[in-house]
Structure 1
């Protein structure tokens, strides 16, 4: 699903220094009003969600740049476009759907012996698997966002490859230790992107 401009958060870097951060409109307007045209070749703007650089057309004045940006990103839905239908008074539907499950006898025996029976146990197992999958997805997304930014901005930094290996190995202490001496603005942004990149031990 494509985000509207107001929903996109990004950060602009001029060479290795952070120049602006916030909504894409704020960042684009700030850099357009601040930088000379000759400086735009040294500018990179990164999506805070994916860590990928954004391709912005800075031709023209600030108003023209923002108008072009809004048309490129897409239509912002009106607040009334997705109104929910009025709910009927009465008992809500539970949404339970019956279906066929094929298991071996030992599986049925185990399910029937669980508190609440087979149906309750199956629902609990599925919900837990979904939660686990969602958590793993968040870890992968944070790793990928960190990777994209590090590749673009820190590929020539010392111990870059070691830091990437630590990132994907889930070695949090080693990862942060390796990047700790990097350029402050670069290091701090990587830390922001990598917040969800490491699995947290359950208490």
Structure 2
């Protein structure tokens, strides 16, 4: 999933934050007065500082190289120190586990992460679709019914409600909602 820029109901560009910021910059002098909106991969509307020219945008938005982690922990492994608050009985149980508390906690977290991966992905997809739809289609006919269908997982009802919406809005909404309905098309 990538950033996307809309001019009114028309999708202008999709790509990295730099790509869409450059596209929005090109639209800045457009005399039509159409609203230009940028959305991140989670469906949130974002604002970029478009001041200056393309070179200024490139400096601000190109990913910087990350500095190596510093501090306590095992920096070569990417370990960062955190605080965990548990009851004494929890610490007793963790201490009795093979490998100690750290190994037991890592195993528990990984198991919980694997177990909730599918539901979390569906929830994130629904939330992204809702955020985008709220901005781009919140005043359109069938919005409430479409959102009820989205959160109910009713693909047919969702599709029926958004077909009358502008094509680019409906297409982007389908992309955000793809995982909520079990589709694999998240390429846009």
Fold shared by both chains (TM-score > 0.5)? yes
Gapped runs of 5+ residues in structure 2? 70-74, 78-91, 95-106, 184-188
Separation in structure 1 between the aligned mates of residue 7 and residue 27 of structure 2, nearest angstrom: 11
Q: Give the deviation of 1:134 after TM superposition.
A: 1.2
1:104 is aligned to: none
Question: What are the within-5 Å matches in structure 2 for residues 56-75 of structure 1?
Answer: 56-70=48-62, 75=64
Separation in structure 1 between the aligned mates of residue 136 and residue 27 of structure 2, nearest angstrom: 22
Contact 1:159–1:178 (CA<8 Å) still a contact in 2?
yes
1:195 is aligned to: 178
User: For 1:130-167, what per-residue CA distance to the aligned partner results, in whole angstroms no more than 9, with x for missing partners?
Assistant: 43411111111000000100000001111000000111
Q: Give the deviation of 1:21 after TM superposition.
A: 0.9
Relative to structure 1, the CA distance from residue 63 to residue 69 in structure 2 (aligned partners, 3 Å threshold; closer, same or farther) is same
Gapped runs of 5+ residues in structure 1? 1-7, 86-98, 102-122
2:36 is aligned to: 43
With 32-41 and 130-139 compared, the bigger mean Cα shift is at 32-41
For the pair 1:13 / 2:6, whether they are aligned, the reply is yes
1:90 is aligned to: none
Question: What are the within-5 Å matches in structure 2 for residues 47-196 of structure 1?
Answer: 47-48=40-41, 50-70=42-62, 75-77=64-66, 81=68, 100=93, 127=111, 130-196=113-179
- With the length of structure 1 as denominator, give the TM-score of the two structures: 0.63
Which protein has the larger Cα radius of gyration, Structure 1 or Structure 2? 1
Q: What's the secondary structure of 1:195's corresponding residue? A: helix
1:30 is aligned to: 23
Relative to structure 1, the CA distance from residue 31 to residue 39 in structure 2 (aligned partners, 3 Å threshold; closer, same or farther) is farther
2:89 is aligned to: none
Separation in structure 1 between the aligned mates of residue 168 and residue 50 of structure 2, nearest angstrom: 24
- With the length of structure 2 as denominator, give the TM-score of the two structures: 0.68
Number of positions where the alignment pairs a residue of Structure 1 with one of Structure 2: 152
Separation in structure 2 between the aligned mates of residue 132 and residue 171 of structure 1, nearest angstrom: 23
Contact 2:5–2:23 (CA<8 Å) still a contact in 1?
no
Aligned Cα RMSD in Å? Answer: 3.1
